[in-house]
């Protein structure tokens, strides 16, 4: 049977593929930034910063593809929401890569001195963030709102680790004020990862919106503030 | 406020049922679009609203249609008066082979409206309301068939307006027109809805999305869904509606 919207379907599939490719690049940037930090590898850190331009470029390419589909194919209902979600998702992913580049910058600044402590929680935060990103894109592909909501739930794990890192580094700083510089840099690293977690939550919100047409707040940040747990 | 209330309408061409159990309330001063594939019953439905189907032999209707609370199929109803209140604009512009002026003046003359009001005034006002006055004011005695198709369609709208209707039915009014002429008709509809209630049948889903306030989706003689246009094109309640507006079925 003749497919009535063959071209639209093909273009949506293409956008989907590019989003996955962008997701892989962002995931890699996050993991590599932690590697650069761990190994105090300045060359790798510079490479991440350089590669951020490719991520930015791909984001703009996808956005242009989305605009072209809107202008030429007049998508409606879930087709339109898929495209609107795609534009938001690539913007969020591009910003995640900026956070990874930020960590790479910090890795360069910290490279001359030994690490304050062995990195345990920070790589854990990065791993969870990457798993979340991966799972949110799987939910996007599978059009599964429950899976997207489950991803957002995991942001709490990152937030808890962030609190843990903060408390631990505070102890170091109190014990030895000479550690303040290195501890602060590490705090910034953790903060970048915490922000990545928030952005994955935003991606999940967009996935839920794409499928259900409803904008749901999946971030329980407000309740965290109420508990006074962190900032 | 509801202008037209249709309850459990069935319509038959001989033994074939073309409309099944249609219930819908058409709101005053709104543009209601009816969409659906060819043969789904939307034009048949439109023609039930001013009893144009009466002219087709072997047709039968069940259910009720109220115009301002009055049954339009009641035996006491004067069909000519009904069609004056509920005007119809056709798919293809169909001006009479007469002058522009006489086309617009035709209805008022037949109905004797010119006894109450100056005919020039009626024609001028109708052409102005139809957005055609500026283009034809110096050529009123020229043949209507010399106008472009888009102008002819606006002339037909002016002809409808001249008999002072309350409801304007439009059956695919833009399908023979180019895109700019189409947009002019759509702009005109927006302008007219302050004074009239408009129901438009269209095959062009983008037109329904652009121009209407409410949309009804017909499928195989049934009204599958009727809701605000915004909802029909973003988050329809029925999966069949969604498949149709996305261009996947039909």
Model confidence pLDDT, tens digit, residues B5-50? 999 999 999 999 999 999 999 999 999 999 999 999 999 999 999 9
Q: What is the pLDDT of residue A224?
A: 45
**pLDDT, tens digit (0-9, with 9 covering 90-100), for B224-246:** 999 999 999 999 999 999 999 99
Q: What is the pLDDT of residue A193?
A: 98
Q: What is the pLDDT of residue B117?
A: 85
Give the nearest partner residue to A213 out of B235, B245, B247, using CB atoms.
Answer: B235
**pLDDT, tens digit (0-9, with 9 covering 90-100), for A117-130:** 899 999 999 999 99
- The structural domains of chain B, with segments of one domain joined by +, span 28-40+78-245
**Chain A residues with CB-CB distance to B234 below 8 A:** 76-77, 80-81, 213
Q: What is the pLDDT of residue A143?
A: 96
- Interface test mutation site (partner B, options A71, A73, A76, A83, max chain B beta carbons within 10 A): A76
User: Is residue A226 pLDDT above 60, yes or no?
Assistant: no
Q: Rounded mean pLDDT of A62-75? A: 94
User: Is residue B90 pLDDT above 50, yes or no?
Assistant: yes
Using a CB–CB cutoff of 8 Å, tell me whether B127 touches chain A: no
State the Cα–Cα distance between residues B32 and B213, nearest whole angstrom.
6
Sign of CA dihedral B112, B139, B137, B156: positive
Quick one: tokens of A122?
Answer: 């920070």
Closest CA relative to residue A132, chosen from A210, A198, A187: A198
CB contact under 8 A, B246 and A74: no
* Smallest CA–CA distance from B236 into chain A, residue: A77
**Domain B28-40+78-245 has what CATH class?**
alpha beta
User: Is residue B120 pLDDT above 50, yes or no?
Assistant: yes
Instruction: Evaluate whether A185 touches A106 at the Cβ level (below 8 Å).
Output: yes
Q: What is the pLDDT of residue B21?
A: 98
Distance from CA of A148 to the nearest CA of B (A): 20
CB contact under 8 A, B248 and A74: no
CB contact under 8 A, A80 and B235: no
Distance from CA of A20 to the nearest CA of B (A): 24
Closest CA relative to residue B33, chosen from B167, B181, B227: B227
Residue-range domains of chain A with CATH: 10-227 (1.20.58.220)
Instruction: Evaluate whether B221 touches A53 at the Cβ level (below 8 Å).
Output: no
Distance from CA of B32 to the nearest CA of A (A): 19
**pLDDT, tens digit (0-9, with 9 covering 90-100), for A146-161:** 999 999 999 999 999 9
Quick one: tokens of B139?
Answer: 């050529």
Closest CA relative to residue B52, chosen from B62, B43, B64, B65: B43
Do the bridges between strand B2-13 and strand B59-67 make them parallel or antiparallel, or are there none, so unpaired? antiparallel
Q: Rounded mean pLDDT of A120-146? A: 97
Give the nearest partner residue to B236 out of A4, A5, A77, using CB atoms.
Answer: A77
| Interface list for B 180-219 with A (CB within 8 A) | 205-206, 209
**Chain A residues with CB-CB distance to B245 below 8 A:** 76-77
**pLDDT, tens digit (0-9, with 9 covering 90-100), for B187-219:** 999 999 999 999 999 999 999 999 999 999 999
Percentage of chain B beyond pLDDT 70 is 100
Quick one: tokens of A125?
Answer: 């935060």
Q: What is the pLDDT of residue B249?
A: 86
Instruction: Evaluate whether B115 touches B75 at the Cβ level (below 8 Å).
Output: no
CA atoms within 13 A on the CB side of A175: 9
Give the nearest partner residue to A77 out of B233, B249, B250, using CB atoms.
Answer: B233
* Smallest CA–CA distance from B243 into chain A, residue: A77
- Interface test mutation site (partner A, options B234, B237, B244, B245, max chain A beta carbons within 10 A): B234
**Chain A residues with CB-CB distance to B215 below 8 A:** none
């Amino acid at each position: 049977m003749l497919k009535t919207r063959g071209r639209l379907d093909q273009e949506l599939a293409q956008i989907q593929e590019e989003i996955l490719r962008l997701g892989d690049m962002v995931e890699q940037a996050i993991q590599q930034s932690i590697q650069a930090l761990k190994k105090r590898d300045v060359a790798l850190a510079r490479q991440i910063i350089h590669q951020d331009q490719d991520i930015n470029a791909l984001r703009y390419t996808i956005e242009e593809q989305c605009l072209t589909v809107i202008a030429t194919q007049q998508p409606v209902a879930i087709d339109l929401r898929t495209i609107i979600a795609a534009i938001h998702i690539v913007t969020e992913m591009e910003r995640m890569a900026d956070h990874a580049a930020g960590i790479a910058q910090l890795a360069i600044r910290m490279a001359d001195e030994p690490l304050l402590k062995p990195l345990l929680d920070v790589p854990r935060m990065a791993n969870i963030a990457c798993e979340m990103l991966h799972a949110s894109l799987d939910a996007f592909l599978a059009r599964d709102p429950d899976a997207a909501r489950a991803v957002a739930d995991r942001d709490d794990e990152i937030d808890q680790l962030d609190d843990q890192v903060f408390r631990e580094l505070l102890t170091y700083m109190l014990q030895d004020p000479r550690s303040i510089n290195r501890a602060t840099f590490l705090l910034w690293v953790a903060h970048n990862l915490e922000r990545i977690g928030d952005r994955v939550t935003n991606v999940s919100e967009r996935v839920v919106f794409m499928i259900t047409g409803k904008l749901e707040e999946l971030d329980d940040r407000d309740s965290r503030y109420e508990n006074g747990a962190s900032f | 406020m509801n202008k037209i209330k249709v309850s459990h309408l069935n319509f038959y061409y001989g033994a074939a049922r073309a409309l099944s159990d249609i219930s819908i309330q058409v709101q005053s001063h709104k543009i209601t679009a009816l969409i659906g594939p060819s043969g789904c019953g939307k034009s048949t439905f439109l023609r039930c609203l001013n009893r144009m189907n009466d002219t087709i032999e072997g047709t039968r209707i069940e259910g009720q249609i109220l115009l301002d609370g009055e049954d339009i199929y009641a035996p006491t109803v004067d069909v000519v008066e009904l069609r004056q209140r509920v005007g119809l604009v056709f798919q293809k512009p169909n001006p009479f082979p007469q002058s522009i002026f006489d086309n617009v003046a035709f209805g008022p003359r037949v109905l004797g409206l010119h006894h109450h009001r100056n005919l020039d005034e009626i024609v001028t006002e109708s052409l102005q309301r139809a957005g055609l006055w500026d283009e034809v004011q110096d050529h009123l005695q020229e043949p209507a068939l010399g106008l472009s198709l888009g102008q002819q369609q606006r002339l037909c709208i002016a002809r409808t307006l001249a008999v002072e209707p309350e409801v304007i039915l439009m059956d695919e009014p833009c399908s023979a027109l180019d895109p700019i002429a189409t947009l002019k008709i759509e702009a005109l509809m927006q302008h007219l809805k302050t004074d009239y209630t408009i129901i438009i049948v269209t095959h062009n889903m983008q037109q329904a999305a652009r121009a209407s306030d409410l949309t009804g989706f017909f499928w195989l003689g049934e009204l599958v869904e009727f809701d605000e246009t915004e909802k029909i094109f973003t988050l329809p309640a029925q999966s069949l509606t969604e498949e149709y507006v996305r261009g996947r079925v039909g």
